[in-house]
Chains A and B, each alone.
Chain A
Amino acid sequence: MSLFFSQLFNGLATGLLLALISTGLTIIYGTLGVINFAHGALFVVGGYAGYTVYSLTDSFILAIAGGSAVALAVGLVMERGLMRQYYSRPPEDQILVTFGISIILVEIVRGLYGGISYSVAPPDWGQGIARIGSLIYPLYRLETLGIAAATLLLLYFVLYRTSLGLIVRAGIEDAQMVNALGINVKRTFLLVFGIGAMAAGFAGVINSPIVALTPDMGFRYLVDSFVVVVIGGVGSFPGAIIGGVIAGEILSLTAMVNPQYSEVMLFVAMALVLVLRPQGLMGQEGRE
């Protein structure tokens, strides 16, 4: 029984972290309709930038800020320089260009830092172990639960309680109408892309004390993010959270029974969702 509750809890923690990692993808995909294959690479860029700031300043908070800022900058450059020309092009073109950008970003990181992995120590307030009943759980992972929840709440607040959020959500519904109403959609899209990239970079820094930094790590998270978005629903922010938690629980609970199949079950779940409810659990039917 205690194993079950341990895995259940771990699934929740892992799931919220996955939801956080997927947020960047869902924001960009949902608002701009762009499948950002560079999402994993932005995660890596943020992680490494955060590592550099951390080594220079010894402050994890500054590392988070630094990593997010660099990812934001890269996102803004990407959007203004290239993505803007691809909004009206077919999805395959968007996939190709973002995939190409991801290769460039990853190889730049590899060129600067090499292929050997970097370990990031958890901050002082995240070291050690917490005991929850009979479960021994790393304190930092518990804290990421809190960080993920707080960040998702903040993003929810921005999206649902501010005028910027209103424009973004209107843009998700109908970009042309928003444009017709005289709102500078271009600037909004730039901002949204930047926020999506920043979210990816932020997640990269938060994740770095848990998983060693390697240039290639982003691809795994890209795949996981897509699964979360498909399960939760495209363009649905609550959907990303639900999708993340479901994904986390599937991974943990399957591993409890048969570790070999935990990843497979995740894809089985995604396939089931695609068959039974293609728009995702919280997505809207008919949305592109």
Chain B
Amino acid sequence: MKDKKTVGQALQTQVRRRSVLKAGAAGIAGSVLLPGTARVAMAQDKKPLGAWPAGSDGDTVFVGLTVDLTGPYSAQGAEQQRGYELAVDHLNSGDPILQKISPNLKKGILGKNVKLGVADAETKPNTAVQAGTRYIHDNKAMMISGSTSSAVAIALEKVCNREHTPYFTAISGSNETTGVDCQRYGFRPCYFAYMACKAIAPVVAKEFGKDCRAAYLTPDYTYGHTTTESMIEFTEKEGWKTVTNQVHPLGAKDYSSYLINIANTDANVLVCVAYGADAVNAIKQAQQFGLLDKMKVVVPYSPAFLEVELGSELIEGVIVGQGFWWTMEDQYPIAKDFVAAYEKKFGGKARDSAMYGYLAIMAWAAAIERAGSFYPPDVVKSLEDGSVLEIPVGAFTIRPEDHQGVINFPIMRGKKKSEMKNPDDWYDIIEIVDGKEVVPPLGLLGCKMGDYV
């Protein structure tokens, strides 16, 4: 039949076409590989890893950013992007601040310019992973960075580990990121739940009393659960009692049912583990339900801009941990330079999200300069060599065993409106925590590092 013949002919043509294509592909692949193999032979038999060596061959190196530009953490994601952009500006121009951060830093990285690509992770792990993978495969990214949600950070560090591409979190609060989910190619410069809770528990015990009864609002994912666990552990050591733990979905809008549960207990402290827009809604609605008349509020791991979104009336008296506050410029000259540079480029005061983005670029660049190479295992080993950087919160280093940043951070109290010296003067800094005192003992959080190759 006519149709059969046509189908048969079509199949045969397809088979022929496929063979031609296969042969052609083999030929092309062979000719592309040849220079690569020559290069590899010259580089002492190092196999290509991740986007290396293709990604570092030219005049620029590409950094892929996966920041949350939409979703409940979008304000923090946008702030991170500003930090990354400022860092790349400083690196590419050879800004004098580089030498103050580390003597290793110079203009560019091994003479190359840095180029940024920005993707919206949407506060979702699968979106972030897709963006990160595309950056590595298509854009030959030599580093991936950016996160607010720990679920995103953990997913990205696993994928980047498989791809042998260094990944730096921006923000990630969960204990698991450098705990059970630690990865050889994953790095967490920022402070996190264990550190925040260990530091803040004695402070709130002193401010609010040693026999408080705490109610927790916990977002239902890795960050929420581990932060609540750590906070319960450290506050109970101070004599506090845990009365209730209300677990809510990430991104919940209406907290009325959880707050009614809390109102029906004798809790006198509200521990808000919720982050981003969730924290704003939870605290606002707590006030609407009259809870704040009888309860104090502590936000152990506070998002940037919480104070702006809540307003002075609601932030007054609230004890928070954040990664950085601009009045630290009075203590650290680098903070002063950083805050001034940020204000000049973007207006307004830099927040911790921006500082972490800035820090990721600087730590990575300094490590490459020390290693003298972009070869991923060399970069990782260089990041593990215990070098110290001077950053806006003081001295900073990375622990080689779990890639956790040993970093200082402030604990603060919301000011009364009448005491604010200017519109950005939201907080009194109660204490600047020494990161070394509050990092968890090695092995406590279950980190087992993988291989370099």
Chain A contacts to B: CB under 8 angstroms: 2-3, 6-7, 10-11, 13-14, 106, 110, 114-119, 122, 129, 135-138, 140-141, 210-212, 214-217, 220-221, 251-252, 255-256, 259-260, 262-263
Contacts and interface: CB of A to CB of B under 8 A. Distances in A.
A138 B289 CA distance: 5
B247 A136 contact: no
B312 to A, nearest CB: 12
A259 B264 CA distance: 14
Contact of A210 (B248, B249, B254): B254
A256 B261 contact: yes
Nearest to A3: B264
Contact of A129 (B78, B257, B290): B290
A215 B77 CA distance: 14
B264 A6 contact: yes
Interface in B269-306: 277, 280-281, 284-285, 288-290, 305
Given A10-B256, A255-B258, A116 B305 contact: yes
B253 A220 contact: yes
Nearest to B73: A115
Given A14-B256, A215-B70, A220-B251, 19 more contacts: A10-B257, A13-B256, A14-B254, A110-B70, A114-B75, A116-B305, A116-B308, A117-B75, A119-B310, A136-B263, A138-B289, A210-B285, A211-B254, A212-B277, A217-B253, A251-B254, A252-B257, A259-B247, A260-B248
Given A116-B75, A117-B280, A259-B247, A10 B308 contact: no
Q: What is the size category of the interface that chain B forms with chain A?
A: 35 or more
Nearest to A17: B254
Given A211-B253, A259-B247, A141 B288 contact: yes
Contacts of A10: 256-257, 260
A7 B260 contact: yes
22 contacts: A3-B260, A6-B263, A7-B260, A10-B256, A10-B257, A11-B257, A14-B254, A14-B257, A116-B305, A116-B309, A118-B309, A119-B311, A136-B263, A137-B289, A210-B254, A210-B285, A212-B284, A214-B277, A216-B70, A216-B74, A260-B248, A262-B257
A11 B305 CA distance: 31
5 smallest CB-CB distances across A and B, nearest first, come from: A255-B257, A138-B288, A115-B74, A260-B247, A115-B75
Contacts, number: 108
A3 B261 contact: yes
Contacts of B284: 119, 212
B69 interface: yes
A77 B28 CA distance: 53
A258 B397 CA distance: 42
B266 interface: no
A137 B261 CA distance: 13
A53 B409 CA distance: 40
A76 B277 CA distance: 31
Interface in B46-87: 69-72, 74-75, 77-78
B220 interface: yes
Nearest to B314: A119
Contacts of B310: 119
B246 interface: yes
A111 to B, nearest CB: 12
Candidate in A11, A115, A141, A260 with the most chain B CB atoms within 10 angstroms? A115
Contacts of A114: 75, 78
Given A138-B288, A212-B284, A214-B277, A259 B258 contact: yes
Interface of B: 69-72, 74-75, 77-78, 220, 246-249, 251-254, 256-258, 260-261, 263-264, 277, 280-281, 284-285, 288-290, 305, 308-311
B288 A140 contact: yes
Contacts of B249: 263
Contacts of A259: 246-248, 257-258, 261
A212 B280 contact: yes
B239 to A, nearest CB: 26
Nearest to A138: B288
Contacts of A138: 285, 288-290
Most A-side CB within 10 Å, residue of B78, B254, B284, B309: B254
Nearest to A135: B260
Contacts of B309: 116-119, 212
Contacts of B285: 138, 210
Candidate in A114, A135, A259, A262 with the most chain B CB atoms within 10 angstroms: A259
Nearest to A106: B70
Q: Which of B69, B72, B253, B258 has the most CB of A within 10 A?
A: B253
B308 A256 contact: no
Contact of B74 (A210, A214, A251): A214
Most buried by B among A13, A114, A138, A215: A138
Contacts of B264: 2-3, 6
A118 B310 CA distance: 9
Interface centre among A216, A262, A263 (most CB of B within 10 A): A216
Nearest to B258: A259
Contacts of A255: 246, 257-258, 261
A6 B74 CA distance: 34
Nearest to B220: A260
Contacts of B72: 214, 216
Nearest to A126: B288
A2 B263 CA distance: 11
Contacts of B281: 211-212
A255 B262 CA distance: 11
Contacts of A252: 256-257, 260
Nearest to B291: A136
A242 B281 CA distance: 27
* Interface core residue of B70, B78, B310 (most chain A CB under 10 Å): B70
Contacts of A115: 69, 74-75, 77-78
A252 B257 CA distance: 5
B122 to A, nearest CB: 9
A220 B248 CA distance: 14
Nearest to A212: B280
A176 B249 CA distance: 44
Nearest to B253: A211
A115 B260 CA distance: 29
A114 B77 CA distance: 12
Contacts of B257: 7, 10-11, 14, 251-252, 255-256, 259, 262
